[in-house]
Every structure is written in structure tokens, then in C-alpha cells.
Amino acid sequence: MSAPRRYVKIAPSLLSADFADIADQIRMVESGGCDELHLDSMDGVFVPNLTWGMKIVKDLRKLTALPFDCHLMIVQPERYVDAFREAGADIITFHYEATPHQHRLLRHIRSLGAKAGIAINPGTPSALLVDLIEEIDRVLVMSVNPGFGGQTFIDRALVKVAEVRALLNVRNPVAEIEVDGGIGLANLERAVQAGADVLVAGNSVFGSEDPPETLREMRRRIDGLQKQRR
Ligand code: DX5
Ligand code: ZN
């Protein structure tokens, strides 16, 4: 474990936001200094929950210039990546488990001009990424079973983050690792120390009393790790 050398991004997950007041919710997290927005699309098949598709992404695109990190929890994601890109996705992350053609899809996402992300569930070993490494802009390590916000962080994910970082360091050091699920003030430092570059936070931000202040405190904790390193 080591302190981070690079800038660590914070990505609030809109799954925990109040959609009756979404423009205000986005302004609120922007004012706290977040780096991108994490948008979870769920199909009720890959995961036991439903959220939104391209129409909502397109409408939200009008509200902010923050990068959109679209996390597709849908089967056969190849059917939809073009439409998500057109709707305004900057990073398109699909699940390893949701398609047999991960390599083709990573290349296709890059060909659309988006960053290509691949997500792995808690039960999927990091070693399965070995033949995909050069095609990846971002690996999303799930630290809960996907489908719902507000679940408890699975500690084993930290081991997986370190394994993925070791794989990337050799063949694709600029690729990022994103950790998603159960991240908050209690564990974000451990995630960063394990090698995370992007921290997704839903419930811990939108469920807090003062979301902008929670984001600022997250940033202070990350900066604190960097100071320790100097
Ligand atoms: C879960 C989603 C997450 C979720 C995280 O399937 O992929 O992005 O919103 O929410 P928290 O941070 O509340 O665990
Ligand atoms: Zn997510």
C-alpha cells in the first residue's frame, strides 16, 4: 500500500440524488468540487433494479459540463453504447459479465471518442482482465454487488484494487481504477491507498446533511494522504 501519486477524482452517484430536484442536486455537488458525475443505468435483468436510459442522460447533459461517467448495468451493452455516447457520455463502463465480447466492445467505445471502462463484480477475479489491459481506459472495481445504493463496502475489493493496479502498472499505467459501492469518509483513504483513482460516492454524499461539505471533507482527506507522502 502506498499514498497516491496522482490526482484522485470524486464522482457522486446520482442514484442517491433526488430526481424531483435534480438540477439543484447537480449544482450542489458541483459547488462541493466533484470531478465527474456517475450515472448508473440498470435494466432489471443484469441487476434486480431499474433506473434510466439515454433520454435521461441527454436531458441531464444540458445541466452541467462535468464529465459523465455512465455505468451500464445492462445485458448486451453493445446494443446501447452508441446511443449513450450520443446522449453525452464521456466515459462508458460496461460489465465484464454482461457480454462475451469485451475486447471488441472496449475498442468500439474508444472508436466513438469516449473513454472505455470495464466493470467487474465482487465475484469476478481481476485476472480475467489480463488479455484486455491495453484496450482499457478505466477498470471499475465493484465494492458492493451492483443494483442498489447504500450497501456495505466489501473489504475484499481493496485486494482487488491492488491486484488491478499491479496489472495496469506493467502494461497500461495511465488507465484508471474506479471503486464503486459503499465508499464514504470511513473508508475512502483505504481505497486510495490500495490504488483507486476515482471514488464513486452515492449515499455518503447525497444522504449526508451537507453534501458540498462532505465532498470538501473527502478532498481534504485525499490531500492529507498526499501530504503524508511528501
Ligand atoms: C450500485 C451502483 C453505485 C451506487 C453506489 O450498483 O453502481 O454507483 O450508486 O452507491 P453507494 O455509494 O451509496 O454505495
Ligand atoms: Zn455505479
71 three-class SS = strand
Catalytically annotated residue among 43, 69, 137, 180: 180
Q: How many CA atoms lie within 13 A of 160 on its CB side?
A: 25
pTM: predicted TM-score of the whole model, two decimal places: 0.97
Q: Say if ligand 1 is within 6 A of residue 180 CB.
A: yes
Ligand 1: which atom is nearest the Cα of residue 15? Answer: 9
Where do runs of H (alpha helix) occur along the chain? 22-31, 54-61, 81-87, 102-111, 156-171, 188-194, 203-206, 211-229
Longest dimension (CA), the chain: 47
Q: pLDDT tens digits, residue range 188-216?
A: 999 999 999 999 999 999 999 999 999 99
Q: What percent of the chain has pLDDT over 70?
A: 97
Q: How many other β-carbons are positioned within 10 Å of the β-carbon of residue 205?
A: 27
User: Would you say how long the chain is, in residues?
Assistant: 230
Could you give all domains of the chain from N- to C-terminal order, each with its CATH number? 9-229 (3.20.20.70)
180 is catalytic: yes
Tens place of pLDDT per residue across the chain (230 aa) = 554 568 999 999 999 999 999 999 999 999 999 999 999 999 999 999 999 999 999 999 999 999 999 999 999 999 999 999 999 999 999 999 999 999 999 999 999 999 999 999 999 999 999 999 999 999 999 999 999 999 999 999 999 999 999 999 999 999 999 999 999 999 999 999 999 999 999 999 999 999 999 999 999 999 999 887 65
Q: Say if ligand 1 is within 6 A of residue 12 CB.
A: no
